[in-house]
């Protein structure tokens, strides 16, 4: 049994129609971003997963590892925000697979992890511009030109950001603040280069839409 002496806050801002109870379900690792590099995506039946129960116990699998543990819940004074702390976790290599595992990067992080939940997706940030994204369903494959593969650059930025959309798939872009509140629609003529100079410093999101599909992309105004 491995007890973790670490204590960290997992600050989560739920926006849209999401409620805190949305946390209590199974989350499948979708991507991991390392300091604003192009994310590594995880697809197929064997992706790392984490189930968080209403009593805040959790069960996770990642490669050969089976991981169990407990979170503690800490509320603050901000609406729709709460914190989690890792009280303990155990792991055992019981499945086929390698001994390396991605979830250690999150569970072993001993500082604040910032988290934003949007409907069926949770973003977590450990180091600045780095961390995992989870979805509540398995991603079987990722089309080469899917919305989720679009890249915002430079990121962070002070004045302008651009979206790499070689096939012109994007039909609508909405700018959201860190809590998911609407700021404005981006004009189609500005899709490729978006002026963010008037925004205050902080974290923002772009909601990209194409037909019935949409995705959320994070950027930082510095």
3-state secondary structure of 201: coil
Distance CA 128, CA 66 (A): 28
3-state helix, strand, coil in the chain (%, to 5): 5, 45, 45
Cβ neighbours of residue 79 closer than 8 Å, sequence gap 6 or more: none
- Which CATH number characterizes residue 111's domain? 2.40.128.270
Q: Are residues 153 and 118 in the same domain?
A: no
Of 92 and 35, more confident: 92
Q: What does pTM read for this prediction?
A: 0.60
Q: Report the number of distinct structural domains present in the chain.
A: 2
pLDDT for residue 93: 93
User: Which CATH number is 181's domain given?
Assistant: 2.60.40.10
Which of 78, 104, 135 is the endpoint of a domain? 135
Same domain as 27, residue 126: yes
Q: Is 1 part of any domain?
A: no
What is the residue range of 211's domain? 147-221
**What is the tens place of the pLDDT at every residue in 7-36?**
334 444 444 433 456 778 899 998 887 765
Interval 158-208: pLDDT, tens: 999 988 765 677 899 999 998 888 999 998 888 878 999 999 999 899 999
In contact, 8 and 112? CB cutoff 8 Å: yes
Q: CB–CB of 62/102 below 8 Å?
A: yes
pLDDT of residue 65: 92
pLDDT score of 18: 39
């Amino acid at each position: 049994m491995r007890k973790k002496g670490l204590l960290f806050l997992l600050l989560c801002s739920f926006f849209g129609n999401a409620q805190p109870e949305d946390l209590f379900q199974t989350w499948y690792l979708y991507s991991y971003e390392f300091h604003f590099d192009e994310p590594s995506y995880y697809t197929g039946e064997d992706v790392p997963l984490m189930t968080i129960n209403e009593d805040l116990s959790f069960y996770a699998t990642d490669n050969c590892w089976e991981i169990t543990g407990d979170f503690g819940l800490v509320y603050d004074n901000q609406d729709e925000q709460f914190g989690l702390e890792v009280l303990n976790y155990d792991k055992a290599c019981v499945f086929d697979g390698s001994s390396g595992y991605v979830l250690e990067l999150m569970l072993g992080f001993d500082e604040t992890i910032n988290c934003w939940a949007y409907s069926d997706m949770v973003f977590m940030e450990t180091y600045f511009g780095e961390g995992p994204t989870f979805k509540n369903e398995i991603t079987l494959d990722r089309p080469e030109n899917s919305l989720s593969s679009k890249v915002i650059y430079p990121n962070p930025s002070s004045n302008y950001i651009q979206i790499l959309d070689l096939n012109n798939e994007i039909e609508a872009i909405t700018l959201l603040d860190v809590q998911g509140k609407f700021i404005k629609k981006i004009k189609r003529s500005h899709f490729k280069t978006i002026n963010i100079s008037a925004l205050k410093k902080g974290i923002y999101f772009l909601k990209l839409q194409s037909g019935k599909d949409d995705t959320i992309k994070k950027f930082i105004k510095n």
